[in-house]
Amino acid sequence: MTPGMDAPRPSPSLAERLKAFRYRPEEEVPPLAMFPARGEDARPAAVAEEVREVLSFELAGGTYAVALGGVLEILRARTLVEIPRAEPPLLGVLDVRGTVTPVYDLALALGLRERIRKVSGPPEECEAVSRDARILVTRTASGPVGLWVDRVRDVVRLPVGAIEAGTGEPEGVTGRARRGVDTLLLLEPERVL
């Protein structure tokens, strides 16, 4: 092989090489985000550094969390519009700026309480709403859904490596993580309801 100091030769491959130069959305690309460290498969380390942001809240004395990305807003809990023949755990609906949003009793859905709370219908029939109670409006495949919780705590950044897989205890609990003395149970709202 002669080093490339010879006269520029007509290259039949120029057009071919320009083809690769031109951007095509369907081009094949190397797995960039997964570049392992040289000489070792660094994937576990890379995964350990990944962080999931969750919103933690209290429910019947326990601490739970949902993915922060799925939370659209947090509303102060209030009495709801009653739905005739609503099936538990549906509590009622709420007008969230023009969108009729069903609100569910998350504690009941998780089997943490036996009786659905009465928070819709005539005011005199409703139970008092705790000052701390909140409705988490979360995104689901079927549109926004409200989750009634006892109290919102804070946003927690959990290293993915610190999350243990859920053991299948209440349906919808997909993982658990230690948080100081507490155990955070991670929920997927869609699987709970």
Instruction: Point out which residues bind other proteins (CB under 8 A).
Output: 3-6, 8-11, 13-14, 17-18, 20-23, 25-33, 35-40, 42-46, 48-49
Q: How far is the CB of 16 from other proteins (least distance, A)?
A: 9
Question: Looking at beta carbons only, is 40 or 114 nearer to other proteins?
Answer: 40
Q: How far is the CB of 43 from other proteins (least distance, A)?
A: 7
Distances (CA, A) of 163 to 74, 83, 167, 192: 24, 38, 12, 19
Judge contact between 48 and 115, C-beta under 8 A.
no
Question: Looking at beta carbons only, is 15 or 181 nearer to other proteins?
Answer: 15
Q: How far is the CB of 108 from other proteins (least distance, A)?
A: 33
End-to-end CA distance of the chain: 69
- Separation CA 126–CA 128 (nearest Å): 6
Question: Looking at beta carbons only, is 2 or 167 nearer to other proteins?
Answer: 2
Q: How far is the CB of 36 from other proteins (least distance, A)?
A: 6
Question: Looking at beta carbons only, is 6 or 124 nearer to other proteins?
Answer: 6
